[in-house]
Amino acid sequence: MSETVATDYLDCLLKSWSTKSNESSSWLNQLRARAIDHVSTQRLPTKRDEEWRFTDISALARLSFQSAQPRTNLRVQDIEHLYLKEAKNSLVFVDGYYSPQLSTRIDSTVLQIGNLSTFLLAHASVLESHFGQYARFDNNVFAALNTAFLRDCALIIAPKNTIIAEPIHLLFIATQSEATSYPRCLIIGESGSNVTFVEDYVSLQEAAYVTNSVTEISLSANARARHIRVQREGAQAYHLANCAVSLAHGSNYQSVSISLGAQISRYNLNVQLTDEAAECEIDGLALISGSQLADTHTSIDHIKPNGISRQQHKCIVNDKAHAVFNGKIIVRPHAQQTNSSQSSRNLLLSKTAQIDTKPQLEIFADDVKCAHGATVGQLDQEEIFYLQSRGLSEAAARSLLTYAFGAEIIDRISVSSLRQQLEQTVLNQTRGNKL
C-alpha cells in the first residue's frame, strides 16, 4: 500500500468528521477531538509494520466509504432468527446505532443496561471514569477512528455482589453497503459481580462494508465475566476490532471468540492483569475458506504477582484462505509466581491454505511457570482410515475429524442455543472438505 493512498483514505475520513453531537457532554466531545487529532498524525498500517506483516489491508485504502446512517425500517420479524432464547436482555444496534424497537430490556434493579444517551443522563460520572480509558488510541488508528466517529455505545454495569443469571445479548447488525459503522461496548463489573454477555456481529446483506468496533471491559475486585464474541459478517466485509480488558484483584475473565465471516478480519485482544491473583482464560477459533483472511492478535500482560492465564487458539483453514495468530504473554518484573500457558493449534484442509502463527513470551520475572507452543498440520490419514473401516465415507470421516477439532472451542460457549447454531455452522462448512 502506498503512503499516498493510505493518507488519502484517512484525509477523506477526516473531512467527513463533524464536531456536531446530540450529546451535551463536554468530556465526550473532548475525547472525540483528541481521537481525531491522533488520526491526523497516524497512517494505515502496511505489511512493512511488524504487527501487520501478514495482513494486507491495502484494499481498504481504496474504499471511499462514509459513516453509516441511522436506519429505522428494520422489523423484529426480519431478525428474529438472530435472537438468543436465553437472553432476556438484548441490545440491538443497526449499523452502529441503537434500535430500541428491536431490543428487549427487562426492568430490573440489579442490572444497569442501555446505550450511550441513557447512560449520559443516569451514569455520567461512571461513564467518564471508564470510557476510553482501556482501549488506547495513541498508537492505534482504528481505535482512534472508532472513538472519533462513535455515535452510540452498548453499556452494561453489573452491580456489586450481583450474579446476573441470564446472558446479555449485544447484537450488531450491518445492513448498508459501502458504509462504515463504529460499534462500541463498555462493560463494567463491580466488585463481586458475575455477568455473561454475547457480542454478536452479523450481516443482512453481502455487499462490501466496514465494521470498526471497540470493546472495553473493566472488572473490579473478585468480579467475574464471561465474554462470548461471534463474528459472522458478510463475505465481502472488512471487520476491524479492538478489545481491551482490565482485571483487578482476584477478578476472573473468560473469553471465547469465534471468527467465521468477513473477507478480511482483524481482532486485537489486550488483557491487563493489573492486580494480584487475577485470572483469565481465552479461547479462540477461526474457521475460514475461499480467499478469507482472519488475523488474531492477543496480549496478556501480567503486572502483579500470582496471576493465572490460559489461552488456546485454533484455526481451520480451507481453499486459499489465510489465518494469522500472534499471541503475546508479558510477565512484568514484579509479577512473580505467574502461571501462564498458551497454545496455538492449526488445521490445514487444502494444499493452498496458509497459516502464520507466532506465540511469544516476554518474561522479566524469575519465579514463574510459563509455557507456549504451536502446531500446524493436516488431518491424520490413519484416523481417516480407521473411520472408513467403521463404515464412514472419506468425506464423512474428514468432516467428523474437522468438526471434532473445532468443537473443543465451541463447547466452551455456555449459551446453549448459540452453541448449537455454531456447531451446525461448523458441520456445514467442514462437510466434504478434501485435500
Q: How many CB atoms lie within 10 A of CB 104?
A: 14
The CA distance from 109 to 141, in Å, is 38
Q: Does residue 383 sit in helix, strand or coil?
A: helix
Residue with grid cell 462490501, as numbered in its chain: 208
d(CA 327, CA 325): 6
Q: Checking DSSP bridges between strand 279-288 and strand 308-317, what pairing results, if any?
A: parallel
Q: Are 334 and 274 within 8 A, CB to CB?
A: no
Domain boundaries, the chain: 3-275, 379-435
Q: Residues with Cβ < 8 Å from 258, sequence gap 6 or more?
A: 229, 230, 231, 232, 284, 285, 287, 409, 410, 413, 422
Residue 376's CB is within 10 A of a number of other CB atoms, namely: 16
Compute the distance between CA of residue 92 and CA of residue 86 in angstroms, rounded to an integer: 15
End-to-end distance of the chain based on CA atoms, in angstroms? 33
177, with CB counted inside 10 A (0-12, 13-18, 19+), is middle
HSE-CB for 1 with a 13 A CA cutoff = 24
Query: Using an 8 Å Cβ cutoff, are 198 and 170 in contact?
Result: yes
pTM assigned to the model: 0.94
Q: Name the strand (E) or helix (H) holding 138.
A: none
Nearest to 92 by CA among 154, 160, 149, 147: 154
Q: Is 371 helix (H, G, I), strand (E, B) or coil?
A: strand
Q: How far apart are CA 163 and CA 352, in angstroms?
A: 48
The amino acid occupying position 221 is A
Residue by residue, pLDDT tens for the chain (435 residues) are 444 445 566 776 766 665 444 455 789 999 999 999 988 888 889 999 999 999 999 888 777 778 888 877 889 999 999 999 999 999 999 999 999 999 998 766 678 999 998 899 888 999 999 999 999 898 899 999 999 998 899 999 999 999 998 999 999 999 999 999 999 999 999 999 999 999 999 999 888 999 999 999 999 999 999 999 999 999 999 999 999 999 999 999 999 999 999 999 999 999 999 999 999 999 999 999 999 999 999 999 999 999 999 999 999 999 999 999 999 999 999 999 999 999 999 999 999 999 999 999 999 999 999 999 999 999 989 999 999 999 998 888 988 899 999 999 999 999 999 999 999 888 887 775 544
The backbone region for 223, taken as left when phi is positive above 0, alpha when psi lies in -120 to 50, beta otherwise, is beta
What whole-number distance in Å separates Cα of residue 116 and Cα of residue 351? 48
Helix, strand, coil content of the chain in percent (nearest 5): 25, 35, 40
